[in-house]
A and B are shown apart, each in its own frame.
Chain A
């Protein structure tokens, strides 16, 4: 399978714990995006990388959130001291090229439940 993969697919954690999600984009895609989707809403942009550089972060991304893409390939999204409001589906997408409107390919998402 050469699509975008995300792990884990589901994560249940207790409030206050740290969690980390991983995204593996399509090989050689230089852009990688993170979105968050809550029930009944469309995805909301969190951050994006071009190669290893994190070029934009949404105001939704509080100080408890950090994302990395150390070698310009896979990316991780860490949430520290989770809160119940962090419960959502976290989506990763990747695209190729430098044009702003190239198709983004989405992974299946990681569903986070904070108890």
Chain B
């Protein structure tokens, strides 16, 4: 069965610092990987999506993620954190076995940004 691990339930960075949120998936290579973001009192919003077309994927708000098959990882990065980036970030791999497109989510990482 497909599974995903997000290392670090809480990550705190200073404003302007690099953001790195980690996501590792189970060994069977998924054809799709998603990062979702959840701002306070809002629904989950798609941040970016990997679809095998390119290993480096750019998303909204300056975020990007790189698919690394050798490391079974899809870490999320942003060069310079803004206060508005404070939110919950959730990684979700897709699989041809997830009929109907249901998503298997990681446990999430809460990002705090200090001024």
Contact = CB atoms under 8 A, between A and B. Distances in A.
Interface string A36-60: 0000111111001010000110000
Interface residues of A, number: 29
Contacts of A93: 44
Q: Assign chain B's interface to a size class.
A: 20 to 34
Interface string A10-50: 00000000000000000000010101000011111100101
B26 interface: no
Interface of A: 3-4, 31, 33, 35, 40-45, 48, 50, 55-56, 91, 93, 95, 99-109
11 contacts: A31-B101, A33-B101, A41-B107, A42-B90, A43-B44, A44-B105, A45-B104, A99-B101, A102-B101, A104-B46, A109-B43
